[in-house]
Amino acid sequence: MSTADQTVHADVLVIGFGKGGKAVAAKLGRLGKRVVVVERSARMYGGTCPNVGCVPTKGLVHRSHKRRPEDRAQDWYERSVREVQSIREMMRQGNFDTLDSLDTVTVITGRATFLDPHSVSVVTSDDRLTVTADTVLINTGSEPVVPNIPGLAASRRTLSSTDLIETTTLPKRLAVLGGGYLGIEFASIYGAFGSEVTILEHADRILSREDDDVAATAEGILTGEGIHIITGAQVIEVRDGEQGATILYGKDGQQHSIDVDAILSAAGRIPATHDLGLDAAGIRTTSAGAIEVDEHLRTSQPHIYALGDVRGGPQFTYLSLDDSRVVLDQLTGQARRSTTDRLAVPHTLFMTPPLATVGMTEKEARAAGYRVAIASQPVAEILAMPRAYAVEETRGMMKFVIDASTDEILGAALLSVDAQEIINTVALAIRHGITATELRDAVYTHPSSTEALNDVLATIVRTDEP
């Protein structure tokens, strides 16, 4: 009998091999549950992060700053991409082996489409089968979105972030459409590799969510690296030519143009739901196309859960991992854990040096009615942070937003070497109500970046201004 005639039944079906789904599948498989994991691409075992997201991009961040003066930019870039791809292949295989080694877990490479709330049709490279399950997890992630700009999608020079890190040819002239986290990270990477990078941002400044002083410091670092930033730019059209593409944009009532070799569309990512057949399963979606879930990640069908980017909200691998804890608590625990338990979730933008944030900005705290106190200092002036001088990275600043009435930390923005590590300590302090004074007076190893907290939190300026 061919697989086209087969129906496979599982206790749990996981659609998408992302971080959250993988963690649930492995745990339930070890508990003896029959689990089927369906992933549409063999190149995506493990999800976005190890394949087209965090791992390859951070590998490129690291390598972009290791080029010696005698190394040709193109040669160094190509070598770096090859090395990162090798690491990615190793991690991809490791993710597959983690599940494939379990007798109770079956991984199928194919495209899944719901037939009804308990059944999906799976089309593989050469067959079709039906998988039924008592419990279903959707973990299909997100995909890049291309803005509706004339000529952009059709241009041979337009690339997504996934496309860009796959190419081994370093663009001589790169335009980045969007001055958010994704756009700035890639601008920083490719500027360091040697590309002439221009960021086109429609807002009045980059990093519009951050406080003005933090955004200005970040912009100063980027422009100091030779990155051209054009704010208030409204992209009108993209026109392909023989040697590249021309981007037409408006600014201050006038039309301008820029010629480039590659265009990175950094307008963000949207939940990957469009071809799952959600209507057949009775699964509701939001206006943004994300799967609608409650605080326990249940969809409109109580036996179907959505984890990771596909359920909307912040798109971070570590939240997908926490999603797995919420779902596992529903399936095997006491059903108490929920997404409402998440407090002070940190974020990091991996420019160089990185910008890590958590909690409220100053403007958000004031808008919420807090009496605000601020502790802020340029990294170059933090005497208790000799590590910055030791590794020759004294650019940036650290800023803390504090409740002047309680001395509790409301938020922080750390633009400095090792910020991606320090922010986790700050986030933990916020979650547990540790005051700014306690964090200031704590004992940290030396020489480390964390000990900067001793100095920065001694600069608190208190104000009664709401």
pLDDT in tens, 178-210: 999 999 999 999 999 999 999 999 999 999 999
Q: Name the pairing type of β-strands 35-39 and 105-109.
A: parallel
For residue 343, pLDDT over 80 is answered with yes
- Looking at the DSSP bridge assignments, the partners of residue 122 are 112, 129
Please give the Cα distance from 20 to 330 (Å, whole number). Answer: 14
Across all residues in the chain, what is the average pLDDT?
93
Place of tokens 């109580």: 302
Over the stretch 163-181, which tens digit does the pLDDT of each residue have? 999 999 999 999 999 999 9
Residue pair 136/13 in contact by the 8 Å Cβ criterion: yes
For residue 2, pLDDT over 60 is answered with no
Please give the Cα distance from 80 to 74 (Å, whole number). Answer: 10
For residue 462, pLDDT over 80 is answered with no
- The residue-averaged pLDDT of 84-94 equals 89
- Of 406, 336, 397, 319, give the one whose Cα is nearest residue 365: 406
pLDDT of residue 96: 87
Over the stretch 427-453, which tens digit does the pLDDT of each residue have? 999 999 999 999 999 999 999 999 999
- Of 403, 399, 389, give the one whose Cα is nearest residue 419: 399
pLDDT of residue 59: 92
Plot region of 141 (φ>0 → left; ψ -120 to 50 → alpha; else → beta): left
- Of 360, 292, 302, 365, give the one whose Cα is nearest residue 331: 302
Q: CB pairs under 8 A, 24+ apart, for 112-119?
A: 112/15, 112/38, 112/40, 112/276, 113/275, 113/276, 113/277, 113/280, 114/276, 114/277, 114/278, 114/280, 114/281, 114/283, 115/277, 115/280, 116/280, 116/281, 117/281, 117/282, 117/301, 117/303, 117/304, 118/303
Residues in the chain: 466
- Looking at the DSSP bridge assignments, the partners of residue 234 are 250
List Cα–Cα distances, 365 to 207, 368, 369, 370, in angstroms.
18, 5, 7, 6
pLDDT of residue 1: 34
pLDDT of residue 97: 87
Please name each of the domains of the chain with its CATH number: 3-143+270-341 (3.50.50.60), 158-267 (3.50.50.60), 347-462 (3.30.390.30)
The phi and psi torsions of 282 (rounded to 5 degrees) equal: 70, 35
Q: In angstroms, how far apart are the furthest CA atoms of the chain? A: 77
Tokens of 255: 């039309």
Please give the Cα distance from 228 to 133 (Å, whole number). Answer: 53
pLDDT of residue 47: 76
Please give the Cα distance from 39 to 109 (Å, whole number). Answer: 5
For residue 146, pLDDT over 60 is answered with yes
Please give the Cα distance from 162 to 56 (Å, whole number). Answer: 10
Tokens of 81: 């991409």
Q: Is 446 a catalytic residue?
A: yes
- The residue-averaged pLDDT of 25-44 equals 92
- Of 35, 8, 37, 33, give the one whose Cα is nearest residue 132: 8
Q: Which of 35-39, 84-88, 243-247 is the least confident region?
A: 84-88
How would residue 466 be classed by pLDDT, with cut points 50, 70 and 90? very low
- The residue-averaged pLDDT of 413-430 equals 97
- The residue-averaged pLDDT of 328-333 equals 96
- Among candidate residues 65, 303, 432, 446, the one labeled active-site is 446
Over the stretch 356-400, which tens digit does the pLDDT of each residue have? 999 999 999 999 999 999 999 999 999 999 999 999 999 999 999
How would residue 316 be classed by pLDDT, with cut points 50, 70 and 90? confident
- The residue-averaged pLDDT of 245-260 equals 97
What HEC string does the chain produce?
CCHHHCEEEEEEEEECCCHHHHHHHHHHHHCCCCEEEEECCHHHCCCHHHHHCHHHHHHHHHHHCCCCCCCCHHHHHHHHHHHHHHHHHHHHHHHHHHHHCCCCEEEEECEEEEEECCEEEEECCCCEEEEEEEEEEECCCEEECCCCCCCCCCCCCEECHHHHHHCCCCCCEEEEECCCHHHHHHHHHHHHHCCEEEEEECCCCCCCCCCHHHHHHHHHHHHHCCCEEEECCEEEEEEECCCCEEEEEEECCEEEEEEECEEEECCCEEECCCCCCHHHHCCCECCCCCECCCCCCECCCCCEEECHHHHCCCCCHHHHHHHHHHHHHHHHCCCCCCHHHCCCCCEEECCCCCEEEEECCHHHHHHCCCCEEEEEEEHHHCCCCHHHHHCCCCCCEEEEEEECCCCEEEEEEEECCCHHHHHHHHHHHHHCCCEHHHHHCCCCCCCCCCCHHHHHCCCCEECCCC
How would residue 464 be classed by pLDDT, with cut points 50, 70 and 90? low
HSE (CB half, 13 Å, CA atoms) of 371? 8
